[in-house]
Structure 1
Amino acid sequence: MLLENAKRFAMEAHAGQLRKSTGTPMIEHPIRVAETLREFGFNEEVVAAGFLHDTVEDTDVTIEDIEQEFGEEVARIVAGNTENKEHSWEERKQHTIDWVKQAPIEIKALIVADKLDNLNSLMEAYKTQGDGVWRHFKRGKEKQGWYFSGVALNSTYGLGEEEIPDFFKEFIEKVNRFWS
């Protein structure tokens, strides 16, 4: 029931929103993030956070709303992936780069699943738009590369080789290939 409610909540919150680089419905992104987390065996709270992870940044939903609807644990995980929009783009991205290094595994996983899906979408858009894809972003290829590379570099910090999910490795390899 938790997962169905989280998905429905996210669908309602993101209704009518489109992704800037592809023009596809925004809700497709959190659904893919949640599916990645589910595929790799994360618990229901983490998967629910996957569905909900962009609601606080991109809609009128608050962390308090998430906690009231889905509990403290889901809210904690969503909050761990939510940027403070009062700060500059560079400050927000630096915070994520620093945070993913020390974050607990469930928050690391949400951050990486989110960034992996963003990167996959970016790579697909690049195939058809070429360098024109960068016009959809506040910062260009170089700054985006700095951000994705920083997250990739710090995402496995503190994890033993056997603790690193395969999608982390996929993310790191794609970042290295795309920005090499």
Structure 2
Amino acid sequence: MKAHAKAFAAKAHDGQTRKSSAEPYITHPIRVAERLEASGCSEEVICAGYLHDVVEDTLVEIEDITEHFGEHIAQIVAAHTEDKSKSWHERKQHTIDTIRTASKEVKYLIVADKLDNLLELEKELSEQGDNVWRHFNAGFDEQKWYNESIAMNMEKGLASEDRPGFFHDFQKAVKRVFGE
């Protein structure tokens, strides 16, 4: 099923590139899924890692995910999907509210996604400097608020043994990019 999810996402994102580079977009969901797999997540969560942006950023609808991958994977993807009709701040506040009370599977997906985005941002900041912010809908202060809020809420309700190592990696990346 993982190979099917990867192929499905690659087809859906075909021709798309990352915000501030010419890198094919599919490299992001692949890295997210690989991080989830390396952390021992279930096949469903790994599949959701490949699929996490297809509903938000392509013509694929959540019903397509349900049809091809089942209700459980569709629920994980749906919990992570932003409503693009809302403002940037409303969408990010919804993600913060979601991660506060979400299942561990949804938390894993959100944090793996945000970590990959932050690591890419860190790389782009070192290459492009502050010019990188022009590629985003929100600048440094808003991105700082959002990422720090994710870090503050991601562990709520999780037992210590249910916290994957990449949660710590995310906290460290937030501090590196946005300061203490």
- TM-score, L = length of structure 1: 0.97
Q: Tell me what 2:33 maps to.
A: 34
Alpha-carbon distance, 1:158 to partner:
1.2
CA distance in 1, matches of 2:73, 2:170: 24
Within 5 Å, which residues of 2 pair with 1:118-157? 118-157=117-156
SS in 2 for 1:80: helix
Alpha-carbon distance, 1:22 to partner:
2.3
Dislocated runs of 4+, deviation >3 Å: none
* CA deviation string 1:98-121 (max 9, x = no partner): 110100000000000000000010
SS in 1 for 2:80: coil
Alpha-carbon distance, 1:174 to partner:
1.1
CA distance in 1, matches of 2:21, 2:115: 15
Number of residue equivalences: 179
Alpha-carbon distance, 1:160 to partner:
2.3
Alpha-carbon distance, 1:87 to partner:
1.0
CA distance in 2, matches of 1:57, 1:94: 16
Alpha-carbon distance, 1:163 to partner:
1.9
SS in 2 for 1:67: helix
After TM superposition, the structure 1 stretch with the greater mean CA deviation from structure 2, 112-121 or 161-170, is 161-170
- TM-score, L = length of structure 2: 0.97
CA distance in 1, matches of 2:148, 2:141: 10
Q: Tell me what 1:24 maps to.
A: 23
SS in 1 for 2:46: helix
Q: What amino acid sits opposite 1:21 in the alignment?
A: S
CA distance in 2, matches of 1:137, 1:131: 11
CA distance in 2, matches of 1:4, 1:174: 30
Is 1:22–1:121's contact at 8 Å kept on the other side of the alignment?
no
Alpha-carbon distance, 1:57 to partner:
0.5
Within 5 Å, which residues of 2 pair with 1:100-179? 100-179=99-178
Percentage of pairs with the same residue? 54
Q: Tell me what 1:72 maps to.
A: 71
* CA deviation string 1:19-51 (max 9, x = no partner): 012221000000000001100111111100000
Gaps of 5+ in 1: none
CA distance in 2, matches of 1:21, 1:147: 19
Q: What amino acid sits opposite 2:62 in the alignment?
A: I
RMSD: 0.7
